[in-house]
Structure 1
């Protein structure tokens, strides 16, 4: 089993460097936690600009702008790490992962149009739930009582948030759910890649694949953007790129498994910004549903990270699970 944790995915808007638990032994400091919170805050701001752009700009064009920022980051990392970054040992898995990341980001942008920003963000943050389910099916991992309880709580939160038969329950919710599904698939593929390709290689491959695919289809959706849309696109790309750089800095200095649960602060930022910019206010069931999703995801990330750290210390999988009381 790979030591790459669920914690390697911070959410729908940013692809954190797939850092191995234990690559840096120092525990996450308060500064690193603040950096993570700042990063996901920037992702939430980028989502506000993205939602504004989806009114008059094709979703594929909005995603393409984000990939420009992501590719720029990948090239910066590649220039810093040297030519070995371009050595790809698992091209098929990298290709599948790149397409999964593209689908995850694209579906989330599609969901931003018809759905309120906080609900779309919260629904897409069920990624750890899908990861756990896929790990059981494809990686043959075992899940004990506490994580099953967290899974059920998260699923209950989704049902409370969407309220089948209510106003929010529509086909549009399939977009953020699909985003979470493909995000989970990307994590599973990352685990399958393991240590055969460097994290910087994985980051660069995903950026290149998404950029090339979208650029190849540009004649189908590209349209000139006015000054206001260009300014919004530039602001979105800048927030996205700076947020990614902050993630690189934080995950490079602290333990991914300890830092990743703080990515759920993005749901809080999304709610605050939606209230300020769009006048959105949550009702009781909506707030309860988002809270249950956040609680479930944070717990799953925490337990997964604890297990991964114990495995890194040399414990067997069975002993680590017993020690972590999974």
Structure 2
């Protein structure tokens, strides 16, 4: 039996068309596609979570931070529990590290309350820029908790980052507000939760960890919220549901982003939150950040990016 190419040559007046040449998708192309997907998901995550933050700031003018966080976690817990039930049932909720799950939930919950409390008095851009200090707290906490050895380069980056925080906060200056300490506290507890997450990463599934954090956080907040409860109208309820829903979607996008791309690649794009915070703050509150907010944020971002770079080098040394 002759080949198709041989038959084509025997019929010069009616040649068969050559099939299109489709280059195989090599590993490099696949990595580029995954990286682009991861970056897009991270940017979407930043937009969604900033939307939740601006809505929280709006509610914070009339409601206490504890109650706003309670509404957010109620929606968060409901979404996660429904997700778990639809994707394998509650048998997936088993965990090998229950103590660490509780610690992480405490860290994330306290971080959320403090951030919303800071939003009551701080412009969105200032609060966001100050929160960029979290990676520096991670560096500091990794020593006593994880037993990591931090070299002088990372300590230098941490010191530079703290200088950036001082530029944004400006203690003693006209732009200083005590609410900045709420955001710094929020960043500290968020960094603590990241350290705990790292400790659980080899045994726990991310969606299960999220479900535990949402459920435990909601239970703890439900015990505390009666002491600061204020009556809710329909508008506040709808905004609270919006905050919970859009923040949860943002967290899901964030998790998916790290499935497709390395943390070191995504790190620069995480600082896009300052852009979205500035835009949303202007559109909703007509707030325009001053130049020192951007200068300080740039210093913090540079130190954070260098820290991520050193983390990547250290990981390669350990692996190789």
Which one of the candidate residues 159, 165, 175 is aligned to 1:152?
A: 159
Q: Using the alignment, how far apart are the partners of 1:219 and 1:225 within structure 2?
A: 13
| 1:34 paired residue number | 40
Q: Using the alignment, how far apart are the partners of 1:126 and 1:77 within structure 2?
A: 32
Q: 1:26 to 1:140 in 2, by over 3 A?
A: same
- The alpha-carbon deviation at position 82 of structure 1 amounts to 4.4
8 Å contact kept, 1:35–1:246: yes
- The alpha-carbon deviation at position 217 of structure 1 amounts to 2.3
Which one of the candidate residues 34, 37, 49 is aligned to 2:55?
A: 49
Q: Using the alignment, how far apart are the partners of 2:164 and 2:136 within structure 1?
A: 12
Is 1:61 aligned with 2:89? no
Residues 31-180 of structure 1: matches in 2 within 5 Å? 31-79=37-85, 80-180=87-187
Kindly provide the CA deviation profile for residues 3-48 of structure 1, in whole angstroms up to 9, marking residues without a partner as x. xxxxxxxxxxxxxxxxxxxxxx956421321121111111111111
8 Å contact kept, 1:26–1:255: no
Q: 1:194 to 1:239 in 2, by over 3 A?
A: closer
- The alpha-carbon deviation at position 309 of structure 1 amounts to 5.5
Q: Using the alignment, how far apart are the partners of 1:81 and 1:258 within structure 2?
A: 32
Q: CA RMSD in A?
A: 2.2
* Range with bigger deviation, 36-45 or 159-168: 159-168
Q: 1:285 to 1:256 in 2, by over 3 A?
A: closer
SS in 2 for 1:217: helix
8 Å contact kept, 2:76–2:245: no
Q: Using the alignment, how far apart are the partners of 1:216 and 1:283 within structure 2?
A: 40
| 1:192 paired residue number | 199
Residues 275-286 of structure 1: matches in 2 within 5 Å? 275-286=282-293
SS in 2 for 1:307: helix
Unaligned runs of 5+ in 2: 1-29
Q: Using the alignment, how far apart are the partners of 1:257 and 1:56 within structure 2?
A: 40
- The alpha-carbon deviation at position 310 of structure 1 amounts to 5.7
SS in 1 for 2:271: helix
Q: Using the alignment, how far apart are the partners of 2:151 and 2:183 within structure 1?
A: 27
- The alpha-carbon deviation at position 253 of structure 1 amounts to 3.2
8 Å contact kept, 1:39–1:243: yes
What number of residue pairs does the alignment pair up? Answer: 289
* Range with bigger deviation, 96-105 or 253-262: 253-262
Residues 173-252 of structure 1: matches in 2 within 5 Å? 173-252=180-259
8 Å contact kept, 2:129–2:293: no
Unaligned runs of 5+ in 1: 1-24, 316-326
Q: 1:213 to 1:255 in 2, by over 3 A?
A: same
8 Å contact kept, 1:261–1:302: no
8 Å contact kept, 1:46–1:235: yes
| 1:288 paired residue number | 295
TM-score (norm 1): 0.81
- The alpha-carbon deviation at position 238 of structure 1 amounts to 2.9
